[in-house]
A and B are shown apart, each in its own frame.
Chain A
């Protein structure tokens, strides 16, 4: 597959932005790749990305104008890698993932970009956005499966677990009835549910079990990529940790890649190899989890990191992020985070949202869209929250 960062996709657009980006990528290639296709990570067994999203833009057509839900995003997912997409609701993280698989309907519209899938079972790379519908249907779930947030809504309430698993198996794999039944049983073994539950209906299962059934369904065809859209948000922490540990175990033994979508950055820090932080349809920062944790560069990422109370260690001053995300119908020029940013300055209005490498980072791929607040610049934030910490403690 083409890994040329100066790939000319998008240059046909009248929008000068895309051109900027292409040149930016070319420049980035000289100094080390930036946000485009990432080179092999130590953990990743293969150097070629399984999924390569290039310059993807998605809008929602509304009478009042286009809502730019995803705006020129680049993301590569290596084999066996866990990439986390973090951001608030409305930041475009789900739209990005679903759009890349062409799962969105009108009024959503992919306006730009390419999504290349190259799995082990494929003879050649396939562009998901330009595929014939029947090809796409074969590829979906067989190669790219999805675990959605609300398992109760995703499972069919009038079908037994077994029948739902068999549906998936028969739709995508050539298998005899008996084989398929055996497979359905072994899938439940895989996710730690007793086989007796094959006869259960979804309402007879607990929330955690339902989510496990969803994961079993995703695993049924041994896909190369599993997109997980807030798979544990509705569950409590103990069950959440158990399921996540199980996902990681399965990933290690079966070797699929995960695109993990969540608004809980603390979860991603533990789970993901790399994290892309999304704000207002754009990536504002991308780096390995350790780098995000140790040396987040973008003010928004820093804000997210300061948003959750920590259970261990000394009590920190918590800040949160005041304000709300911008209206994406009429985005203001420059950085979309300006109104909420403690470091904002007039020049932020002219920022072209490009991901620039963070020079001081240990991760050569660490990139941020904020050109001002890099770790080496000592800029004091303008205090924006009066007293962020919910004080309520009698001593420490």
Chain B
């Protein structure tokens, strides 16, 4: 299977840092059943660019991040870092890999150890990744400066329970940066935080991205934040990428019926009361049934979205569509793009330039 011919919208930002090539991950559930958590997912991360992975819970986006972080074994596929295949067989190789690729977790309440201070949380990765002779104190202070936990002295001796959610997440960011990574995988970094501080944290992440030229994977279920924060958006459904493209294009003119449903479902204060207060049921082009019939996404046949899709026909239930190129930077996996997004599909499809996922 080849890397999609499609160019990533994030590519303009900087050199290629990491490639995920046809990643797949199966989980065995019970004796007979297999859950395909991630199916044939390919994308690339570029220095200084943000790629957002958007999808509902259970769509496999966190599993994808864990695969990239080396915390899960690939069922098939490959990961390349700076063009070289990633090798994690030995402890040392794994550690070297981890110093390049760091993961920030969603929940700052459980990702920090309650019995250790901020100093411990930051000194340890500094020593681990930069050697014992590194000036840990100096390094920790500068890390805390970077994530704006200042004055550093004030926070060093504090325990996680003494910090607010935002401050804890800052510690998580600092901990991830302690390894001086090139790739930062942020798994819903702000979704546990209050709305009022989410923005501040996202702009902090953005700031860090620029300053350290981080290649960032931003995982979220909030497609609106992806619009503002990311260069490229990948929409995941049941383990597959169903649409990808520049953030603004995907959010403004979604092509795939699932993306359309996702966009239509986001709270929209500028369209006050149109649906909810009016007592009406639904809006938008995709009047899709929103009750998943197969919540674990384990449908083995056909398009994974077909049970919920208003456009689904026999072909959709039989064959899984491949990612079709819509433009140089956009693609969507749907048999009925001509109906779902006629204005997009009318453009030439790239003459059989369909790519596999």
State the A residues within 8 Å of B (CB).
Answer: 82, 88-89, 192, 206-207, 235-242, 244-245, 248-249, 252, 263-267, 269-273, 289-290, 293, 303-305, 307-313, 315, 318-322, 324, 385, 387-396
Contact = CB atoms under 8 A, between A and B. Distances in A.
A237 B290 CA distance: 10
A315 B228 CA distance: 8
A238 B290 contact: yes
Given A308-B224, A311-B227, A270 B262 contact: no
A272 B225 CA distance: 23
22 contacts: A242-B291, A245-B282, A270-B267, A270-B268, A271-B276, A273-B277, A290-B272, A303-B196, A308-B195, A311-B266, A322-B200, A385-B203, A388-B203, A390-B202, A390-B206, A390-B229, A392-B206, A392-B209, A392-B228, A392-B230, A392-B231, A393-B248
A395 B263 CA distance: 21
Given A89-B165, A309-B227, A324-B164, A236 B57 contact: yes
A237 B222 contact: yes
Contact of B276 (A244, A265, A307, A308): A244
B196 A318 contact: no
Given A192-B291, A207-B57, A289-B273, A311 B263 contact: yes
A207 B221 CA distance: 15
B265 A270 contact: no
Contacts of A388: 199-200, 203
Nearest 6 Cβ contacts at the A-B interface: A320-B199, A269-B269, A236-B56, A311-B224, A390-B206, A241-B265
B323 interface: no
B131 interface: no
With a 10 A CB-CB cut-off, give which of A324, A392, A395, A396 has the most chain B CB atoms. A392
Interface string B184-211: 0000000000111111101101100100
Contacts of B271: 270, 312
Contacts of A265: 195, 269
B203 A320 contact: yes
B228 A238 contact: no
B295 A396 contact: no
B77 interface: no
B103 interface: no
A328 to B, nearest CB: 14
A304 B50 contact: no
B32 interface: no
Interface string B82-123: 000000000000000000000000000000000000000000
A313 B252 CA distance: 8
Contact of B228 (A266, A267, A390): A390
State the majority secondary structure of interface residues on A. Answer: loop
With a 10 A CB-CB cut-off, give which of B13, B166, B209, B229 has the most chain A CB atoms. B229
B114 to A, nearest CB: 19
A122 to B, nearest CB: 27
Given A236-B56, A311-B224, A388-B203, A321 B270 contact: no
Contacts of A249: 279, 281
B277 A307 contact: no
B261 to A, nearest CB: 6
Contacts of A309: 199, 222, 224-225, 227-229
A89 B262 CA distance: 27
Given A89-B165, A238-B56, A270-B267, A252 B227 contact: no
A104 B290 CA distance: 37
Given A240-B265, A315-B248, A320-B203, 18 more contacts: A238-B261, A238-B290, A242-B290, A245-B276, A252-B279, A270-B273, A270-B276, A304-B195, A304-B196, A308-B224, A310-B270, A318-B199, A318-B228, A388-B199, A390-B203, A392-B228, A394-B13, A395-B248
A361 to B, nearest CB: 16
B62 to A, nearest CB: 13
B130 interface: no
Contacts of B205: 390
Given A238-B262, A241-B265, A311 B12 contact: no
B275 interface: yes
B196 A321 contact: yes
A219 B14 CA distance: 55
A248 B276 contact: yes
Given A239-B290, A271-B276, A392-B50, A320 B224 contact: no
A180 B16 CA distance: 63
B304 interface: no
B198 A307 contact: yes
B194 A387 contact: no
Given A245-B282, A248-B277, A311 B268 contact: yes
Contacts of A318: 199, 228
B251 interface: yes
Nearest to B268: A312
Contact of A320 (B9, B57, B197): B197
A62 B263 CA distance: 46
B223 interface: yes
Contact of B270 (A303, A313, A319, A390): A313
Nearest to A236: B56
Contact of B229 (A242, A263, A392): A392
A321 B196 CA distance: 5
B247 interface: yes
B246 interface: yes
A206 B268 CA distance: 25
B256 to A, nearest CB: 14
A235 B292 CA distance: 14
Nearest to B206: A390
With a 10 A CB-CB cut-off, give which of A207, A238, A391 has the most chain B CB atoms. A238
